[in-house]
Structure formats: structure tokens, C-alpha cells
Structure 1
Amino acid sequence: MPWRSVFWVVLLALAVLSLWRLSDILLPFVAGATIAYLLNPLAHRLVALRVPRGVTAIGLILLASLVLVVGIALLAPMIQSQVGQLLASLPQTSEGLARRVQDLLGWVETLDREYNLNLFEGRSAKDFVAQNLPGVISEQAARLVRVVAQVLTGSLALVNLLSLVFITPVVTFYLLRDWDDLVARLDSWLPRQSVVTIRTQVREIDRTLAGYIRGQATLCCVLATYYAIGLGLVGLEFGLLIGVATGVLSFIPYVGALIGLVSSVGLAFLQFDTWLPIALVAAVFFTGQIMEGYVLQPVLVGDRVGLHPVWVIFALLAGGSLFGFLGLLLAIPVAAVAGVLIRFAIDRYLQSPLFDPRIGPP
């Protein structure tokens, strides 16, 4: 391997290692870069109208902040109402859970007697659970309290929250103001013999990422509206809250729908006494997945990413394992960039002397 190739491989490995070590503080910088990337086309149009780039950057950031504040102001009362209902219904939910547990224990106890499984060591299911459940609940509750306290009081969590609120707008402003200068500087560093090829691939990456982000953002809005309305029509309590959360989390493939399905069916299991409403709640999500997979994804996102579902799942697991929540957010965009580069490498290989279809068995 030439020394130049060794240098680039080592440099790439060091970059990945550095990102992994700094993953806890990267969120505001990634968020700022993403916002600047999304606002840059609009900034170009305003600059073309002779608006100074710095004024454009400040104006767009203020406009984006205003949209965010208005959105929060519109959703906050509804979400606050839903959370209040959730807290007020905890006693009733506990009673519903107790009834469900009793029904389940009766069913399991019947199986235990019929098949002589001896699951409860000769005691009734109720006595067995009464003796063992308090200890399990106490242990898990103590663990949950420790985790929540660590999350809420941990210095790193506070730093992350403050940096997300205060550093992200600053990063967005500087990147948006200096975007053209940064791009020109990077372009001047490209090797002249490969500059056309690199520019072509960068444009392809830009087209892929822009199409994916715009399509996924629209998809999230449509799904949030659908799930909120669907769960509300079924009569599920907190349907608005779960629907909006599911739609927002749908930016991460599979994760949003899975979390929404589990939480909705779990609440329906506690709220309703018959199976029909529970089945309707599940049907809302299955219908949403069919609509997303066969209608919304092809229309809004299309084949811009060009990744097989297996590779999407692998990218999500790998990103989450290496970088946590930030890795989940970036897994598909990074995989999309890798896909563009891999397709380019395959095309170059097919055009190289290494691949000659005229040579080989007929």
C-alpha cells in the first residue's frame, strides 16, 4: 500500500476515534451544522437580493427561533393538558393494571394446574406474587430513582442542555455567515488532478442529503398528524402526546413506530376492558406503517438514500452503539454518504482493467 494511502487511512481512523471520544459534546455542533445546511439555500436567495450575508444569517436564525417558539406555544397547552390527565389518572391506571395482573395470574395458574408446571412452588399465584413482587418493585424503583437523579443532576447533562440552547445558535450563525468562504477554502485544498471528480461526488452527496432530510421532515409532520388524529378517534387517552412523539421520532427509521406502538398498546391495555379498542390502536400503527412504507416513503423520500433495509437496521444499531442517541440521528445520513462513495468506487472498479467481462468462463 502506498504511503499516501496509509496516511489517509490513519487520518480517517484518528478522526473516527476523536469523534467517538468527543461524542458527548458533539450534539450542539451537529445541530448547528445541520440547521445551517438547511438554511443555506434560502440564505443564497437573500444574498442574491443584495442582503448582506451577516444580516441574512441573523434574520434566518431569528425566523427559525420564532417558528420554534410559536410551535412550542401552540403545542405546550395541549401537551400540558395531556400530562396533567396522565398524572391524574395514575390511581385509575393502577387499578386497571391490578385487574389485568389478576386476570393474567388466573390464566397462568390454570395452566400451572393443568400441566403440573409447579411455577409457584405449591402456593397460589396470588400469594407467590404478593411475596416476591414488593421486593422486585422496590429494587427497580430504587434503580429508576438513581438513574433519573443522575440524569437530572449530572454535570454533563446540564452542560449538554445549556450547550444545546446557547451554543447551537452561535454555531449556526457563524457557519451560515461564512458558508461560502468555508466551501471555497475547502475547495482550494482539493488535489487539482481529482478536483472535478471530487466536486461531482460532493454534489451527489449534497443532493442525497438534502432530499433525504426534506423528505424525512415532511414525513414526520404527516405521521405526527396521522397518529395524533387516529389515536384520538379510537379514544386513547394521551393520544395527542403519543402521536406527536411518534411522528417526531419517526425521523429515526423503525424507532418512532416501535416506541409509539409499545406505549400506545400498553396504555390501551390498561384503559380499555375489551379487546376491540386495543386492536384498533394496534391497527392505527399497522396502517401507518403500511402507509409510510408504500405511499409516503416512495413519494416523499423515494430512492434518494438507496440503502437496503438490512443496511438501514445495521447502520442504526452501529450508530447507536458507538455514539448513542446522536449516532441514531446521524446513522442514516452517514450511511447515505457512504452509499454514494461506495457506488462511485464500484463504478470506477467496473471501468478499470481489473474488471474485464470479456475474460472468464462463458
Structure 2
Amino acid sequence: MNLRNQVLIWIGFFVFLILSLWIFRGILLPFVVGAALAYLLNPLVNQLQKLRINRGWATALVLASVVVIVIGLFVMLLPMIIQQVVGLVQRLPGYAADLEALVRRWAPELSQWLGPERAAQVERSVSDILGQMVGLAGILTQEIVNSGMTLISLIGFTIFTPVVAFYLLLDWDSMVRGVHDLLPRRHRAEILGILRDIDSSMAGVIRGQGGVLLIDAAFYSVSLSLIGLNFGLAVGLIAGLLSFIPYVGFGVGFTLSMGIAIVQFWPNWWMVAGVGGIFLGWQFIEGNILYPKLVGGSININPVWLMFALLAFGALFGFVGLLLAVPLAAIGGVLVRFAIRKYKASSLYLGSSHGGHGGSPTA
């Protein structure tokens, strides 16, 4: 098989995959979450197997423990989270009006400090930002209402997701062996190398970045609540759960918390500075300690490409697309890097009749 046919086959495969995702996007959520859960928990099941526990019992034990923990957290925290999120959305227009009133109150000082034209420009900019924030809150609320699960779909999700995860975990080893057996003998070593790179990248996405996301949400929620910020739990969760989009979680959380802090604590600037310090300090810790330790260079995706993937898959497939965007972007990155390596070893790049490093013209 020549290079052109291989490229056409892979392009056809990805077109088929995208079409399948688009056709079945309405029912994919429990399967996507179940598969991610199985991938996340497979190392724990393997560890229990090393202790001579049957694969079925190990799967049931690990999955039951996770379900109990999740249900316990939901029972304890969900009412409080809903109350805070709903309260924040309802109170956001009031915060915007209060901030606008403060800006008007500071207008004489701003005019004296910046000059009349610049002060008016600052006032207009603040009003525009506040208007966009209120509009965004309204759009977000409407989207949640429109795309929210009905009771039947919620029950289906909570039932099907653990079932999907259980059967995937139970048959994980046999599925891996089945994939290995289907690989073409001639290129098996090369394909296995690609699959190892994909596995490393997926581990960085699901285990590493997922861990960073949860730690961010927990830190912001606890810290903002302890400092006494109104709706600190809701703001912290929003900032943490949006942190999978580069800079968006920090930007949204910082803007929301500083706006609330100025209205709530003014004129106590020490408290406002404390709220800002929580975000700025944790951003430094996350970028220099947490992210390198848990994720490292395993994902290796340009932030611009990641944001494009999130917007594109979100527009095409909705919430399921957002869940799939980062893993598929990571897989795409591995395949693109492999294609670049093959291109640089080919006669097309080298300008000779034979590929470099002993490369086969059919590779």
C-alpha cells in the first residue's frame, strides 16, 4: 500500500468518525462519560488484579466505591451549589448596577487623574464590560434551561454511565488484545508506538488535566468561601471547571470575584486585594508546580489549537463535543506529529529517490 492510499484511508476513517459523532450526538453522553470513567479507573482495577482479586470483583469494587463517593458528594453539596449558582445569576445584574454606580461616584477623581476624555472612555468601557457580563449570564441561563436534561434523560444518564463503565472495565484487556491482533504485521511496531503516544496524551488529558481541574475548583471554592466572598462557592466552581480552556477559567473567575469583592468590601481594599491574591497566587502555583507535575508535556497542544477544537466541537456536537474536544485534539496532535516525522523522512522532503534513515517508500 503506497503512501497516498494510506492517507486516503485515514482521511476516510476520520470523516466517518466525525459523521458518526454528529449523527449519534444526542445519545453519546453516557457512553463518552462511561468510557472516560473506565479509562480513568483501569489502573486501579489492574492494581487490584495484582493482589489476586478476580477482574470482575475488582471492577465492581472500584466502580461501586466511585459511585458511592459521587452520590455522597452530590447529596451533601448539590443543594448548596444549586442555591449559590442560581443566586449568583439572579444577583449579577444588581452587582453590575452597583459597580456602575461606584464608577460614577469615582468619576470626579478619575476625571481629575486621567482627564475628562480618558475618564469618559474608562466609564464607557466599564459599562460595556458589565453589560456583556449580564448578557452572558442571561445567555448561559437560557442555554442551561434549553439543553438541560429532563428527568427521564437524567435517570437514563445516571443508570447507563456506570453500566457502560463496568462492561468496558471488565473487557478492557480483551479489547486491547483484540486491537493488537487487528494491526497489520508489517507496521505493527510503528502503530504500537503511535498508540503509546496517544495513551500518554490521553492520560495527560483525562487523569492529569482532570486532576488539575478538580484541584482548581476545590481551591477556589474553599478559599473564596473562607475569605467571605458572596457566592464564593459558585464562583470558585465556575473558575475551576472552566480551567480546561486555557486562561478562560482564570479570566472568568478573576473578573467575577473582583467585581463582587469591590461591591461587597468597598472601601476595604485589603479584602479586595486578598481576593485578587487568591487568583494570582494560585495561577502561579498551577502554572509552575501543579500543571508540570500532573500533566507535564504529555498533551503538547498549542492553546490556540485547543481553543479552536473546543469551539468547533462545541458548535458541532454541543456539550458532548466539549467533552470530546480535548481528547480528540490530543489524538490529532499525536497523529500530526507522526505525519510530520514521516514527511521529513520521505523522498518528497529529502529530494532524493529514497527516504532517509532506511525509510520504506510504502510507509
TM-score scaled by structure 1? Answer: 0.75
The aligned counterpart of 2:261 is 268
Shift of 1:5: 4.7
Alignment of 1:47 with 2:46, yes or no, is no
Q: CA contact under 8 A between 1:97 and 1:270: conserved in structure 2?
A: no
Q: Given residue 306 of structure 1, which amino acid in structure 2 is its aligned partner? A: N
The aligned counterpart of 2:294 is 300
Q: Given residue 298 of structure 1, which amino acid in structure 2 is its aligned partner? A: P
Alignment of 1:347 with 2:349, yes or no, is no
Determine the C-alpha separation between the residues in 1 that align with 2:251 and 2:83: 24
> Gaps (5+ residues) in structure 1?
116-136
Determine the C-alpha separation between the residues in 2 that align with 1:140 and 1:242: 15
Count of aligned residue pairs for this structure pair: 331
Determine the C-alpha separation between the residues in 2 that align with 1:349 and 1:262: 45
Change (3 A) 1:245 1:348: same
After superposition, give the CA deviation of every residue in 1:32-64 in whole Å (9 maximum; x if it has no partner). Answer: 001111111222232333333222222221011
Q: Given residue 77 of structure 2, which amino acid in structure 1 is its aligned partner? A: L
Bigger radius of gyration among the two = 1
After superposition, give the CA deviation of every residue in 1:169-197 in whole Å (9 maximum; x if it has no partner). Answer: 11111111111222222222222211111
The aligned counterpart of 1:238 is 231
After superposition, give the CA deviation of every residue in 1:140-172 in whole Å (9 maximum; x if it has no partner). Answer: 9999997666455xxx64454233211101111
Change (3 A) 1:217 1:141: closer
The aligned counterpart of 1:211 is 204
Q: CA contact under 8 A between 2:246 and 2:303: conserved in structure 1?
A: no
Determine the C-alpha separation between the residues in 1 that align with 2:230 and 2:138: 28
SS at match of 1:303: coil
The aligned counterpart of 2:24 is 22
The aligned counterpart of 1:163 is 156
Determine the C-alpha separation between the residues in 1 that align with 2:45 and 2:99: 57
Q: Given residue 62 of structure 2, which amino acid in structure 1 is its aligned partner? A: L
> Percent of counterpart pairs with the same letter?
40
> Gaps (5+ residues) in structure 2?
118-133, 354-363
Q: CA contact under 8 A between 1:252 and 1:329: conserved in structure 2?
A: no
Determine the C-alpha separation between the residues in 1 that align with 2:137 and 2:233: 28
Q: Give the counterpart of 1:188 among 164, 181, 193.
A: 181
The aligned counterpart of 1:249 is 242
Q: CA RMSD in A?
A: 3.9
Determine the C-alpha separation between the residues in 2 that align with 1:204 and 1:30: 21
Determine the C-alpha separation between the residues in 2 that align with 1:146 and 1:236: 26
Q: Given residue 12 of structure 2, which amino acid in structure 1 is its aligned partner? A: V
Q: CA contact under 8 A between 2:35 and 2:165: conserved in structure 1?
A: yes
Q: Give the counterpart of 1:72 among 74, 79, 83.
A: 74
Determine the C-alpha separation between the residues in 1 that align with 2:140 and 2:227: 32
After superposition, give the CA deviation of every residue in 1:79-126 in whole Å (9 maximum; x if it has no partner). Answer: 478579x48xx79x8877655444556778999xx78xxxxxxxxxxx
Change (3 A) 1:18 1:192: same
